[in-house]
């Protein structure tokens, strides 16, 4: 039973072990090179990940939720997308190092769109890579590829941000297992005012949109607390 519970919680490890066993049985000559390659990547991860975990702790302490919500949250728009591109482009290290960092940023209010943009920029448009691209392929090629890639990344980020809600991503928030404060998706909000009339302590109507009231901005919520508020909007703008 203990073995079954372990396998249930470590499916990828179990699949990897099974794959090595199959290689050993079906192509024994390839098992040693496969183990050497895996050992090389494991050693790389052992060197990189402690630094990454230290960086996540610094982010946890130094970067406030309000700052993330303002500059990289749901309402940050194109400015937030530009900042997300810059953060991903100026990053260092392999792409797997981005996942724990993005996880802690997501727990502080990072929007799904900017999450996608940071990960994509980290993977394909890092500054050191651009310098090598200029050297071998020329500045004109690099500039055109960079412009088209950034455009595609931003469009993809906004598309995924529209399709996937933050609450659908299993991330523990700062306040225990509570999620971040209620967020208004400005792309879906029509400022109809239904939520304001139903819950004036939570929502206030501005000149052209609805906002969460300042006193409720930083409050964490469980899913059970969030669901009734989300149902107030017929357009799905409350998340």
Residues 6, 74: Cα–Cα separation, whole Å: 37
For residue 93, count CB atoms less than 10 angstroms from its CB and return exposed for 0-12, middle for 13-18, buried for 19 or more. middle
Q: Where are the domains of the chain?
A: 61-168, 177-239
Residue 213 in tokens = 């009231």
Out of 3.30.70.20, 2.60.40.10, 3.30.70.660, 3.10.129.10, select the CATH number for domain 177-239: 3.30.70.20
Q: Give rounded-to-5 percent helix, strand, coil for the chain.
A: 65, 5, 30
For residue 175, count CB atoms less than 10 angstroms from its CB and return exposed for 0-12, middle for 13-18, buried for 19 or more. middle
In this predicted model, what pLDDT tens digit does every residue of 16-75 receive, in sequence order?
888 888 888 888 888 888 888 888 877 877 776 676 677 777 776 677 777 888 889 888
pLDDT for the residue numbered 225: 66
Residues 186, 76: Cα–Cα separation, whole Å: 9
pTM over 0.85: no
Average pLDDT over residues 131-137: 89
Q: Is residue 189's pLDDT more than 90?
A: no
Residues 209, 186: Cα–Cα separation, whole Å: 7
In this predicted model, what pLDDT tens digit does every residue of 212-230 receive, in sequence order?
776 666 555 666 666 777 8
With H, G, I as helix, E, B as strand and everything else as coil, classify residue 31: helix
Beta-carbon contacts of 46 under 8 Å, excluding residues fewer than 6 positions away, are: none
Residues 119, 91: Cα–Cα separation, whole Å: 10
DSSP category for residue 188? T
pLDDT for the residue numbered 14: 77
Q: Is residue 107's pLDDT more than 90?
A: no
pLDDT for the residue numbered 222: 60
In this predicted model, what pLDDT tens digit does every residue of 120-133 receive, in sequence order?
999 888 887 888 89
Cα dist from 76 to 24, 153, 158, whole Å: 52, 16, 11
Average pLDDT over residues 175-182: 50
pLDDT for the residue numbered 65: 75
């Amino acid at each position: 039973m203990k073995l079954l519970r372990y396998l249930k919680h470590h499916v990828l490890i179990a699949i990897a072990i099974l794959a090595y066993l199959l290689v050993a049985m079906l192509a024994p000559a390839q098992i040693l090179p496969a183990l050497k390659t895996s050992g090389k990547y494991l050693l790389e991860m052992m060197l990189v990940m402690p630094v990454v975990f230290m960086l996540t702790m610094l982010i946890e302490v130094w970067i406030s939720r309000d700052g993330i919500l303002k500059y990289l949250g749901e309402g940050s728009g194109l400015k937030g997308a530009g900042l997300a591109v810059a953060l991903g482009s100026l990053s260092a290290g392999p792409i797997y190092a981005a996942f724990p960092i993005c996880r802690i940023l997501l727990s502080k209010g990072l929007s799904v769109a900017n999450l996608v943009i940071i990960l994509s920029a980290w993977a394909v448009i890092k500054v050191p890579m651009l310098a090598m691209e200029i050297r071998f392929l020329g500045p004109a090629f690099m500039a055109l590829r960079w412009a088209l890639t950034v455009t595609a990344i931003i469009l993809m980020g906004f598309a995924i941000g529209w399709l996937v809600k933050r609450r659908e991503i299993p991330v523990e928030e700062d306040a225990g297992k509570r999620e971040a404060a209620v967020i208004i998706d400005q792309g879906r909000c029509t400022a109809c005012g239904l939520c304001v009339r139903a819950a004036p302590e939570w929502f206030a109507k501005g000149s052209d949109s609805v906002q969460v009231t300042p006193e409720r901005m930083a409050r964490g919520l469980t899913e059970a607390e969030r669901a009734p508020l989300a149902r107030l909007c017929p357009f799905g703008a409350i998340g």
